[in-house]
Amino acid sequence: MSSPQDITLDEVYERYRSKRPKSAAADGEARKVMPGGNTRSVLHFEPFPFRVATAEGPHLVDVDGNQYVDLLGNYTAGLLGHSPTAVRQAVSAALETGFSLGATHTVEIEAARLLTERFPSLEQVRFTNSGTEANLMALALAKHHTGRERILAFRNGYHGGVLAFAPESSPMNVPHDFVVIPFNDFEATSDAFATAPDEIAAVIVEPVQGGGGCIPAAPGFLAELRQLCDQNGSILIFDEVMTSRLAPGGAQELMSVLPDLTTLGKYLAGGLTFGAFGGRADLLSAFDPQLGGALSQAGTFNNNILSMTAVVATLTQVLTPEVIRTVNERGDRLRESLNEIFEANDCQFQATGVGSMTAIHAEEPALELFFHAMLDKGWYIARRGFIALSLEISDDLIDAFLSTVRTWASR
Protein backbone atom coordinates (compact mmCIF):
# COMPACT_ATOMS: atom_id res chain seq x y z
CA MET A 1 0.00 0.00 0.00
CA SER A 2 1.26 3.48 -0.80
CA SER A 3 2.26 5.66 2.12
CA PRO A 4 0.26 8.86 2.74
CA GLN A 5 3.17 10.86 1.31
CA ASP A 6 3.05 8.90 -1.98
CA ILE A 7 -0.67 9.30 -2.64
CA THR A 8 -1.60 12.25 -4.83
CA LEU A 9 -4.73 14.33 -4.56
CA ASP A 10 -5.77 13.20 -8.05
CA GLU A 11 -5.73 9.59 -6.83
CA VAL A 12 -7.67 10.50 -3.72
CA TYR A 13 -10.28 12.40 -5.71
CA GLU A 14 -10.69 9.56 -8.21
CA ARG A 15 -11.27 7.06 -5.41
CA TYR A 16 -13.79 9.42 -3.84
CA ARG A 17 -15.66 9.85 -7.16
CA SER A 18 -15.80 6.13 -7.84
CA LYS A 19 -17.71 5.50 -4.60
CA ARG A 20 -20.21 8.34 -5.05
CA PRO A 21 -21.78 8.45 -8.52
CA LYS A 22 -25.17 9.60 -7.21
CA SER A 23 -23.61 12.46 -5.23
CA ALA A 24 -21.69 13.42 -8.38
CA ALA A 25 -24.92 13.53 -10.37
CA ALA A 26 -26.65 15.53 -7.65
CA ASP A 27 -23.76 18.01 -7.64
CA GLY A 28 -24.19 18.53 -11.36
CA GLU A 29 -27.91 19.21 -10.94
CA ALA A 30 -27.28 21.49 -7.97
CA ARG A 31 -24.84 23.63 -9.95
CA LYS A 32 -27.54 24.39 -12.49
CA VAL A 33 -29.70 26.14 -9.90
CA MET A 34 -27.27 27.19 -7.13
CA PRO A 35 -23.89 28.84 -7.72
CA GLY A 36 -21.26 26.37 -6.57
CA GLY A 37 -23.97 23.76 -6.10
CA ASN A 38 -24.77 24.88 -2.56
CA THR A 39 -26.13 27.69 -0.46
CA ARG A 40 -23.70 27.31 2.46
CA SER A 41 -20.18 27.74 1.13
CA VAL A 42 -18.38 26.04 4.02
CA LEU A 43 -19.97 22.70 3.08
CA HIS A 44 -18.15 22.51 -0.25
CA PHE A 45 -15.00 20.46 -0.71
CA GLU A 46 -13.24 18.94 -3.71
CA PRO A 47 -14.12 17.18 -5.89
CA PHE A 48 -17.74 17.60 -4.68
CA PRO A 49 -19.51 17.10 -1.35
CA PHE A 50 -21.50 13.95 -0.67
CA ARG A 51 -25.28 14.40 -0.39
CA VAL A 52 -26.92 13.15 2.81
CA ALA A 53 -29.90 10.82 2.48
CA THR A 54 -30.50 10.00 6.16
CA ALA A 55 -29.11 10.90 9.57
CA GLU A 56 -29.65 8.77 12.65
CA GLY A 57 -27.75 8.54 15.91
CA PRO A 58 -24.09 9.41 15.29
CA HIS A 59 -24.26 8.48 11.59
CA LEU A 60 -24.84 10.14 8.26
CA VAL A 61 -25.67 8.04 5.19
CA ASP A 62 -25.24 9.54 1.75
CA VAL A 63 -27.30 8.92 -1.38
CA ASP A 64 -24.80 6.28 -2.52
CA GLY A 65 -25.16 4.32 0.72
CA ASN A 66 -21.83 5.34 2.27
CA GLN A 67 -22.03 5.70 6.05
CA TYR A 68 -20.05 8.19 8.15
CA VAL A 69 -19.66 8.84 11.85
CA ASP A 70 -20.42 12.55 12.16
CA LEU A 71 -17.62 14.20 14.12
CA LEU A 72 -18.36 17.61 12.62
CA GLY A 73 -21.57 18.14 14.56
CA ASN A 74 -22.83 20.78 12.11
CA TYR A 75 -20.05 23.16 13.15
CA THR A 76 -21.23 23.05 16.81
CA ALA A 77 -24.95 23.49 15.99
CA GLY A 78 -25.49 19.72 16.18
CA LEU A 79 -24.44 19.27 19.81
CA LEU A 80 -27.63 17.34 20.60
CA GLY A 81 -27.37 15.11 17.53
CA HIS A 82 -29.29 14.97 14.26
CA SER A 83 -32.80 14.58 15.65
CA PRO A 84 -32.85 14.76 19.46
CA THR A 85 -35.91 12.98 20.82
CA ALA A 86 -36.88 15.56 23.45
CA VAL A 87 -36.71 18.42 20.96
CA ARG A 88 -38.51 16.50 18.23
CA GLN A 89 -41.37 15.56 20.53
CA ALA A 90 -41.72 19.08 21.93
CA VAL A 91 -41.70 20.68 18.49
CA SER A 92 -44.18 18.11 17.15
CA ALA A 93 -46.56 19.02 19.96
CA ALA A 94 -46.08 22.72 19.23
CA LEU A 95 -46.97 22.16 15.58
CA GLU A 96 -50.44 21.08 16.68
CA THR A 97 -51.09 24.41 18.43
CA GLY A 98 -50.31 26.64 15.44
CA PHE A 99 -46.89 27.94 14.51
CA SER A 100 -47.30 31.15 12.49
CA LEU A 101 -48.54 33.46 15.17
CA GLY A 102 -47.46 37.05 14.57
CA ALA A 103 -47.93 37.64 18.29
CA THR A 104 -46.17 37.18 21.62
CA HIS A 105 -46.64 33.93 23.55
CA THR A 106 -45.62 32.40 26.86
CA VAL A 107 -43.00 29.95 25.57
CA GLU A 108 -40.59 32.77 24.74
CA ILE A 109 -40.78 33.91 28.37
CA GLU A 110 -39.67 30.49 29.57
CA ALA A 111 -36.88 30.34 26.97
CA ALA A 112 -35.59 33.75 28.04
CA ARG A 113 -35.79 32.83 31.72
CA LEU A 114 -33.79 29.65 31.19
CA LEU A 115 -31.07 31.49 29.30
CA THR A 116 -30.74 34.27 31.87
CA GLU A 117 -30.48 31.68 34.63
CA ARG A 118 -27.83 29.71 32.76
CA PHE A 119 -25.36 32.33 31.53
CA PRO A 120 -23.89 34.64 34.20
CA SER A 121 -23.78 37.84 32.14
CA LEU A 122 -27.39 37.70 30.95
CA GLU A 123 -29.72 39.91 32.94
CA GLN A 124 -32.05 40.22 29.95
CA VAL A 125 -32.10 38.70 26.48
CA ARG A 126 -33.65 39.19 23.04
CA PHE A 127 -33.99 36.63 20.27
CA THR A 128 -32.85 36.54 16.64
CA ASN A 129 -32.75 33.95 13.87
CA SER A 130 -29.02 33.24 13.94
CA GLY A 131 -25.75 34.01 15.67
CA THR A 132 -24.88 36.37 12.82
CA GLU A 133 -27.98 38.44 13.50
CA ALA A 134 -27.26 38.36 17.22
CA ASN A 135 -23.79 39.80 16.66
CA LEU A 136 -25.13 42.50 14.34
CA MET A 137 -27.68 43.54 16.96
CA ALA A 138 -25.11 43.53 19.77
CA LEU A 139 -22.79 45.78 17.78
CA ALA A 140 -25.64 48.15 16.92
CA LEU A 141 -26.62 48.32 20.59
CA ALA A 142 -23.04 49.05 21.64
CA LYS A 143 -22.74 51.86 19.09
CA HIS A 144 -26.05 53.32 20.21
CA HIS A 145 -25.13 53.18 23.89
CA THR A 146 -21.67 54.71 23.53
CA GLY A 147 -22.36 57.12 20.67
CA ARG A 148 -19.18 55.82 19.05
CA GLU A 149 -18.50 54.13 15.71
CA ARG A 150 -15.31 52.08 15.97
CA ILE A 151 -15.36 48.31 16.57
CA LEU A 152 -12.29 46.40 17.74
CA ALA A 153 -12.15 42.87 16.33
CA PHE A 154 -9.48 40.20 16.05
CA ARG A 155 -7.72 38.63 13.11
CA ASN A 156 -9.13 35.20 12.23
CA GLY A 157 -12.24 35.96 14.26
CA TYR A 158 -15.56 34.83 12.83
CA HIS A 159 -18.85 36.34 13.95
CA GLY A 160 -21.01 35.39 10.96
CA GLY A 161 -20.94 35.63 7.19
CA VAL A 162 -20.89 39.45 7.28
CA LEU A 163 -18.47 39.72 10.22
CA ALA A 164 -15.49 37.60 9.17
CA PHE A 165 -11.82 38.52 9.60
CA ALA A 166 -9.80 35.61 8.22
CA PRO A 167 -7.29 36.16 6.82
CA GLU A 168 -8.40 39.74 6.22
CA SER A 169 -11.75 41.47 6.44
CA SER A 170 -14.18 39.87 3.99
CA PRO A 171 -15.69 41.91 1.12
CA MET A 172 -19.02 40.59 2.43
CA ASN A 173 -18.57 42.38 5.77
CA VAL A 174 -20.95 45.10 6.90
CA PRO A 175 -19.27 48.51 6.68
CA HIS A 176 -18.51 49.18 10.33
CA ASP A 177 -15.40 51.14 11.26
CA PHE A 178 -13.36 48.07 12.20
CA VAL A 179 -9.93 47.97 13.76
CA VAL A 180 -8.63 44.42 13.36
CA ILE A 181 -5.64 43.32 15.44
CA PRO A 182 -3.97 39.96 16.20
CA PHE A 183 -5.78 37.70 18.67
CA ASN A 184 -4.08 37.24 22.03
CA ASP A 185 -1.76 40.19 21.38
CA PHE A 186 -1.77 42.17 24.63
CA GLU A 187 0.43 44.97 23.28
CA ALA A 188 -1.55 45.52 20.09
CA THR A 189 -4.78 45.61 22.07
CA SER A 190 -3.44 48.20 24.51
CA ASP A 191 -2.08 50.24 21.61
CA ALA A 192 -5.45 50.22 19.87
CA PHE A 193 -7.10 51.75 22.91
CA ALA A 194 -4.25 54.18 23.51
CA THR A 195 -4.47 55.42 19.93
CA ALA A 196 -8.21 56.15 20.11
CA PRO A 197 -9.37 55.94 23.77
CA ASP A 198 -12.66 57.75 23.13
CA GLU A 199 -13.57 56.15 19.80
CA ILE A 200 -14.00 52.42 20.44
CA ALA A 201 -17.65 51.51 20.90
CA ALA A 202 -17.12 47.80 21.42
CA VAL A 203 -14.70 44.92 21.46
CA ILE A 204 -16.13 41.71 19.98
CA VAL A 205 -14.27 38.51 20.74
CA GLU A 206 -14.71 34.75 20.74
CA PRO A 207 -13.32 33.32 23.99
CA VAL A 208 -12.10 30.47 21.78
CA GLN A 209 -11.79 31.29 18.08
CA GLY A 210 -13.88 28.66 16.30
CA GLY A 211 -13.53 29.28 12.58
CA GLY A 212 -10.03 30.59 13.23
CA GLY A 213 -8.78 27.16 14.28
CA CYS A 214 -10.04 26.54 17.81
CA ILE A 215 -7.52 28.91 19.38
CA PRO A 216 -8.34 29.74 23.02
CA ALA A 217 -7.81 33.15 24.55
CA ALA A 218 -4.44 33.30 26.28
CA PRO A 219 -4.46 33.30 30.09
CA GLY A 220 -5.35 36.81 31.23
CA PHE A 221 -6.29 38.10 27.77
CA LEU A 222 -10.04 38.28 28.36
CA ALA A 223 -9.48 39.88 31.77
CA GLU A 224 -7.27 42.46 30.05
CA LEU A 225 -10.06 43.21 27.57
CA ARG A 226 -12.49 43.59 30.46
CA GLN A 227 -10.19 46.09 32.17
CA LEU A 228 -9.52 48.11 29.02
CA CYS A 229 -13.22 48.33 28.21
CA ASP A 230 -14.00 49.49 31.75
CA GLN A 231 -11.25 52.12 31.62
CA ASN A 232 -12.34 53.48 28.24
CA GLY A 233 -16.13 53.22 28.42
CA SER A 234 -16.33 50.55 25.71
CA ILE A 235 -18.70 47.59 25.56
CA LEU A 236 -17.21 44.09 25.79
CA ILE A 237 -19.07 41.54 23.65
CA PHE A 238 -18.43 37.83 23.98
CA ASP A 239 -19.46 35.92 20.88
CA GLU A 240 -20.48 32.65 22.55
CA VAL A 241 -22.39 31.30 19.58
CA MET A 242 -19.97 28.35 19.64
CA THR A 243 -18.23 28.59 22.99
CA SER A 244 -21.32 28.58 25.20
CA ARG A 245 -21.14 24.76 24.89
CA LEU A 246 -17.83 24.61 26.78
CA ALA A 247 -19.31 24.78 30.29
CA PRO A 248 -22.79 24.91 31.84
CA GLY A 249 -22.52 28.72 31.94
CA GLY A 250 -20.46 29.06 28.79
CA ALA A 251 -16.87 30.13 28.29
CA GLN A 252 -17.53 33.19 30.45
CA GLU A 253 -18.07 30.85 33.38
CA LEU A 254 -15.15 28.65 32.41
CA MET A 255 -12.76 31.61 32.09
CA SER A 256 -14.26 33.71 34.92
CA VAL A 257 -14.71 36.92 32.90
CA LEU A 258 -18.11 38.55 32.36
CA PRO A 259 -18.83 40.60 29.23
CA ASP A 260 -21.37 43.41 28.95
CA LEU A 261 -23.16 41.61 26.11
CA THR A 262 -23.21 37.95 25.09
CA THR A 263 -24.35 36.49 21.77
CA LEU A 264 -25.70 32.96 21.41
CA GLY A 265 -26.89 30.61 18.68
CA LYS A 266 -26.13 27.25 17.10
CA TYR A 267 -27.05 24.27 19.33
CA LEU A 268 -29.37 25.96 21.84
CA ALA A 269 -32.51 25.20 19.82
CA GLY A 270 -31.46 21.59 19.33
CA GLY A 271 -30.59 22.13 15.67
CA LEU A 272 -33.36 24.56 14.68
CA THR A 273 -32.59 28.12 13.63
CA PHE A 274 -31.84 30.29 16.64
CA GLY A 275 -29.90 33.28 17.90
CA ALA A 276 -29.94 35.57 20.92
CA PHE A 277 -28.15 38.55 22.38
CA GLY A 278 -28.32 39.80 25.92
CA GLY A 279 -26.48 41.16 28.90
CA ARG A 280 -26.76 44.12 31.22
CA ALA A 281 -30.32 45.29 31.75
CA ASP A 282 -29.34 48.96 31.44
CA LEU A 283 -28.05 48.27 27.93
CA LEU A 284 -31.06 46.20 26.89
CA SER A 285 -33.40 48.94 28.14
CA ALA A 286 -32.72 50.68 24.81
CA PHE A 287 -35.34 48.27 23.40
CA ASP A 288 -37.94 49.02 26.12
CA PRO A 289 -40.35 51.79 25.04
CA GLN A 290 -41.72 52.09 28.58
CA LEU A 291 -38.22 53.10 29.72
CA GLY A 292 -37.79 55.55 26.87
CA GLY A 293 -35.77 53.15 24.72
CA ALA A 294 -35.13 54.45 21.22
CA LEU A 295 -34.28 51.19 19.48
CA SER A 296 -36.65 48.86 17.65
CA GLN A 297 -35.74 45.29 16.67
CA ALA A 298 -37.51 43.71 13.74
CA GLY A 299 -37.55 40.03 12.76
CA THR A 300 -40.59 38.04 11.69
CA PHE A 301 -39.25 34.79 13.11
CA ASN A 302 -37.37 36.07 16.18
CA ASN A 303 -39.79 34.46 18.62
CA ASN A 304 -41.09 31.68 16.36
CA ILE A 305 -42.84 29.05 18.42
CA LEU A 306 -40.80 26.12 17.10
CA SER A 307 -37.38 27.52 18.01
CA MET A 308 -38.61 28.81 21.36
CA THR A 309 -40.10 25.42 22.17
CA ALA A 310 -36.86 23.73 21.14
CA VAL A 311 -34.81 26.00 23.44
CA VAL A 312 -36.99 25.08 26.40
CA ALA A 313 -36.73 21.36 25.64
CA THR A 314 -32.96 21.58 25.13
CA LEU A 315 -32.29 23.35 28.42
CA THR A 316 -34.79 21.49 30.59
CA GLN A 317 -34.57 17.94 29.24
CA VAL A 318 -31.16 17.46 27.65
CA LEU A 319 -28.29 19.79 28.50
CA THR A 320 -27.82 19.28 32.21
CA PRO A 321 -24.54 20.52 33.72
CA GLU A 322 -23.36 16.90 33.96
CA VAL A 323 -24.03 16.27 30.26
CA ILE A 324 -22.13 19.43 29.27
CA ARG A 325 -19.16 18.49 31.43
CA THR A 326 -19.06 14.95 30.08
CA VAL A 327 -18.99 15.90 26.39
CA ASN A 328 -16.26 18.46 27.05
CA GLU A 329 -14.15 15.99 29.03
CA ARG A 330 -14.52 13.59 26.09
CA GLY A 331 -13.32 16.30 23.73
CA ASP A 332 -10.28 17.03 25.89
CA ARG A 333 -9.34 13.34 25.82
CA LEU A 334 -9.74 13.23 22.04
CA ARG A 335 -7.49 16.24 21.49
CA GLU A 336 -4.80 15.07 23.90
CA SER A 337 -4.77 11.62 22.30
CA LEU A 338 -4.55 13.05 18.79
CA ASN A 339 -1.49 15.07 19.73
CA GLU A 340 0.11 12.01 21.31
CA ILE A 341 -0.43 10.06 18.07
CA PHE A 342 0.93 12.87 15.91
CA GLU A 343 4.02 13.26 18.08
CA ALA A 344 4.70 9.53 18.34
CA ASN A 345 4.62 9.17 14.55
CA ASP A 346 6.51 12.38 13.77
CA CYS A 347 3.51 13.85 11.90
CA GLN A 348 3.55 17.57 11.29
CA PHE A 349 0.02 17.86 12.67
CA GLN A 350 -1.33 19.53 15.79
CA ALA A 351 -4.75 19.55 17.47
CA THR A 352 -5.89 22.67 19.32
CA GLY A 353 -9.07 23.68 21.11
CA VAL A 354 -11.00 23.51 24.34
CA GLY A 355 -13.44 20.84 25.46
CA SER A 356 -15.67 19.48 22.71
CA MET A 357 -14.25 21.86 20.06
CA THR A 358 -11.07 20.73 18.29
CA ALA A 359 -9.19 21.75 15.17
CA ILE A 360 -6.49 19.69 13.47
CA HIS A 361 -3.78 21.81 11.84
CA ALA A 362 -1.34 20.83 9.07
CA GLU A 363 0.15 22.28 5.93
CA GLU A 364 -1.43 21.61 2.56
CA PRO A 365 -1.82 19.17 0.91
CA ALA A 366 -1.35 17.08 4.05
CA LEU A 367 -4.58 18.31 5.65
CA GLU A 368 -6.57 17.64 2.48
CA LEU A 369 -5.15 14.12 2.30
CA PHE A 370 -5.97 13.53 5.97
CA PHE A 371 -9.54 14.74 5.48
CA HIS A 372 -10.12 12.34 2.60
CA ALA A 373 -8.36 9.48 4.37
CA MET A 374 -10.74 9.83 7.29
CA LEU A 375 -13.74 10.19 4.99
CA ASP A 376 -12.73 7.03 3.14
CA LYS A 377 -12.78 5.16 6.46
CA GLY A 378 -16.19 6.56 7.41
CA TRP A 379 -15.26 9.55 9.60
CA TYR A 380 -16.69 12.97 8.75
CA ILE A 381 -14.87 16.07 9.96
CA ALA A 382 -14.68 19.52 8.40
CA ARG A 383 -12.40 19.92 5.41
CA ARG A 384 -10.38 22.44 7.44
CA GLY A 385 -9.89 19.92 10.26
CA PHE A 386 -12.64 21.13 12.59
CA ILE A 387 -14.35 18.71 14.98
CA ALA A 388 -17.34 19.46 17.25
CA LEU A 389 -18.49 16.47 19.24
CA SER A 390 -22.18 15.77 19.64
CA LEU A 391 -23.79 13.93 22.53
CA GLU A 392 -24.15 10.97 20.16
CA ILE A 393 -20.38 10.41 20.02
CA SER A 394 -19.50 7.79 22.63
CA ASP A 395 -16.15 6.90 24.17
CA ASP A 396 -16.13 3.78 22.01
CA LEU A 397 -16.47 5.89 18.86
CA ILE A 398 -13.68 8.19 20.05
CA ASP A 399 -11.45 5.14 20.56
CA ALA A 400 -12.31 3.82 17.10
CA PHE A 401 -11.51 7.16 15.49
CA LEU A 402 -8.20 7.36 17.32
CA SER A 403 -7.40 3.84 16.10
CA THR A 404 -8.05 4.96 12.52
CA VAL A 405 -5.82 7.99 12.96
CA ARG A 406 -3.10 5.88 14.58
CA THR A 407 -3.12 3.42 11.68
CA TRP A 408 -3.01 6.24 9.14
CA ALA A 409 -0.18 8.05 10.92
CA SER A 410 1.98 4.94 11.31
CA ARG A 411 1.99 3.89 7.64
The yes-or-no answer on residue 395 being catalytic is no
How many degrees, rounded to 5, is the angle at CA 243 between CA 322 and CA 214? 115
**R_g (Cα) of the chain, nearest Å:** 22
Residues whose CB is less than 8 angstroms from the CB of residue 204 and which lie 6 or more positions away in sequence, other chains included: 135, 138, 139, 151, 152, 153, 157, 159, 163, 237, 239
SS3 assignment, position 125: strand
How many degrees, rounded to 5, is the angle at CA 214 between CA 199 and CA 252? 60
Q: Do residues 156 and 165 lie in contact, with contact meaning Cβ atoms separated by under 8 Å? A: yes
Q: For 129-174, where are the E strands, in sequence order?
A: 150-154
How many helices, marked H, and strands, marked E, lie in the chain? 13, 16
Which member of 16, 75, 158, 267 is catalytic? 158
Q: How far apart are CA 13 and CA 65, in angstroms?
A: 18
Strands 379-380 and 67-70: parallel
Which member of 62, 260, 266, 267 is catalytic? 266
Residues whose CB is less than 8 angstroms from the CB of residue 353 and which lie 6 or more positions away in sequence, other chains included: 208, 214, 216, 331, 335, 359, 387
The yes-or-no answer on residue 68 being catalytic is no
Which member of 143, 239, 260, 380 is catalytic? 239
Residues whose CB is less than 8 angstroms from the CB of residue 249 and which lie 6 or more positions away in sequence, other chains included: 118, 119, 120
Element (H, E) at 354: strand 350-354
The yes-or-no answer on residue 158 being catalytic is yes
Question: Which residues are catalytic, by number?
Answer: 158, 239, 266
